A and B are shown apart, each in its own frame.
Chain A
């Protein structure tokens, strides 16, 4: 058993030091798909999250609970839904998007949206309590309040982004179904790991896993440093 772990370390190391072009391509595609998916989700998710924190309307609690539950949505289910929508026999079949990186971006966006929405709602709600006094004295409109809160909460919202990114980069169920794991087209880190596991090459599969974890760590470290730098210069 220990053998497999050392073999995995060697496999990962060999791939990295040889600058394996296939590996580089897969890592790049993984990052592209997940970063774009998180970006799209954030565009809508921050706005909806902030709105849920600030606005009061009938059914708000239901939407809040729905979003919270959505954080645990199984990727396979999202994958199936997107598959059926994008299939040539489905409502958006004419776009021809199934088995493309775009399909993977759509699936991951849907997967990540509830996470970003819920976490940003929490962040904004907390901020709202802190700033409630000021808002009352300035008599601002909802739009201005939202903008102010989102700006003031930008560093805390980074955590929501990273949580979403973690979910997106690590999931395999959705991208496997809507992407099809096509070599050089829709193969990403997680689907490559699944493929090597199916080939029984456990060391290589685990080696790829190590690289995936390292990549995720690098992204988080970069985010941390940027936040640290920005916070100090904002002060």
Chain B
């Protein structure tokens, strides 16, 4: 009994099922690897139907951390990326995995923590001083620790504060390896501080005793960019369709739609595409 006698009919069956299950989705679609913040904040639920109506391109979103999104792009498993980690993005483009990086929109990171605020960071506009204060009294801090854009930004800020938080991993500094939402759930349960992107924080429902304590340092600036996966590297990618979608994101109309999305009277992503920038 040869294995192929078993496997071939199974493969045929699978492909038949695949054909049937995708038969109703006739529209042209692209796969977009993006961040948890853009999905959890409801932005895609709002934006993608509008973009599809305009461009005819259906966008299928895989929402993961920026680090994982870059990996998906490297392997050629998506057609475009919408992420937020400039150094990582530049490396991705320079290595030839991506082309046509365009800065789309921004928001900022904020420090949230327990109302009681044992480290006294409230209204401190110096991000490094905030982390220094938290480290000084060894207050509970939960970190995404998932190589996401937010996590990478957090690590840069600890460096700026000259605090070796990772050395305290497992005591007051807790590395979760989780998405923003799960991290906020944990922070709420532990009365811990954390760094969050404003979009996820604003739409997050299980806040418990947490509140927004500190914001406003220019180092908390959070830029989102779109990158197309390089068709020379991965010839199967739907480059034209993906470009159509990104063109819409950067069009006057797309930018205006981005800026019109509000939660609790706050604009979640401020459009800032600049045509003159390369």
Contact = CB atoms under 8 A, between A and B. Distances in A.
Interface in A25-52: 32, 36, 40, 43-44
A87 interface: yes
Nearest to B184: A200
Nearest to B22: A100
B234 interface: yes
A138 B207 CA distance: 71
Given A99-B62, A182-B62, A197 B205 contact: no
A102 B23 CA distance: 13
A55 to B, nearest CB: 12
B75 interface: yes
Contacts of A200: 181, 184-185, 204-207
A102 B25 CA distance: 14
A180 B62 contact: yes
B211 to A, nearest CB: 14
A199 B39 CA distance: 9
Interface in A89-122: 89-90, 93, 95-102, 105-106
Interface in B1-51: 6, 10, 13-15, 17-18, 21-22, 25, 31, 36, 39-40, 44-45
B76 A44 contact: no
Contacts of B40: 195, 198-199
Nearest to A201: B205
B119 interface: no
Interface string B55-85: 0000011110000000000111100000000
B180 interface: yes
Nearest to A86: B77
A202 interface: yes
A184 B36 CA distance: 17
Contacts of A101: 17-18, 21-22
A160 B188 CA distance: 41
A82 to B, nearest CB: 12
B242 to A, nearest CB: 14
Contacts of A102: 14-15, 17-18, 21
Given A88-B77, A200-B205, A181 B63 contact: yes
A105 B13 CA distance: 11
A11 B29 CA distance: 32
B260 interface: no
A195 B164 CA distance: 32
Nearest to A32: B21
A72 B53 CA distance: 46
B77 A87 contact: yes
Contacts of A195: 39-40
Contacts of A100: 18, 21-22
Given A88-B75, A102-B14, A199 B181 contact: yes
A197 B62 contact: no
B149 interface: no
Interface core residue of A89, A90, A181, A182 (most chain B CB under 10 Å): A182
B18 A40 contact: no
A174 B15 CA distance: 20
B6 A106 contact: no
Given A180-B62, A198-B40, A201-B205, A99 B13 contact: no
A96 to B, nearest CB: 7
Interface string A154-192: 000000000000000000000000001111010000000
B272 interface: no
A118 to B, nearest CB: 19
A10 B80 CA distance: 39
Contacts of B185: 197-198, 200, 202
Contact of A105 (B6, B14, B22): B14
Nearest to B188: A200
Interface of A: 32, 36, 40, 43-44, 87-90, 93, 95-102, 105-106, 180-183, 185, 195, 197-202
Interface of B: 6, 10, 13-15, 17-18, 21-22, 25, 31, 36, 39-40, 44-45, 60-63, 74-77, 179-182, 184-185, 203-207, 234, 236
